[in-house]
Amino acid sequence: MPKASPSFDYGTCMACRACVDACPFSCLEDRKTGLERYNKAFPEMARPEKCTGCGLCAAACPVDAIAMLPSPAPGA
C-alpha cells in the first residue's frame, strides 16, 4: 500500500493556513507564491520525508482543497 501525501487544489485553496497548522510534523509551509488570489502565500509540502500520510491536513481544510494521493515510490 503506497503512502499517501497531500495534493493541493490551488484553484480552491483560500490560503487560510489551517492545513499548515494541523500537521503534527510541520511538513507544510505557506510559501508558494506567484498565485494572484488573496495576495498570500499558499501551502506546499516542505518536508516530504516527515509526512506520514495521516491526512490531518486534508481533514482540517475547510474547503476540501487537499486530496490525499499515493506518493511516488522512493527513487521514482
Contacting residue, 33, 38, 52, 72, with ligand SF4 by CB under 6 A? 52
Three-state SS annotation for 18-39? HHHHHCCCCCEEEEECCCCHHH
Judged by CB under 6 A, does residue 54 bind ligand SF4? yes
Residue type, 67: A
Using the rule CB under 6 A, which residue among 35, 41, 46, 56 binds ligand SF4?
A: 56
Q: What is the DSSP string of 50-70?
A: G-----HHHHH-TT--EEEEE
Q: Which of 2, 25, 33, 37 binds ligand SF4 (CB under 6 A)?
A: 25
Using CB under 6 A as the criterion, which residues of the chain lie in contact with ligand SF4 when the complex forms? Answer: 6, 8, 13-19, 22-23, 25, 27-28, 43, 51-57, 60-61, 63, 65-66
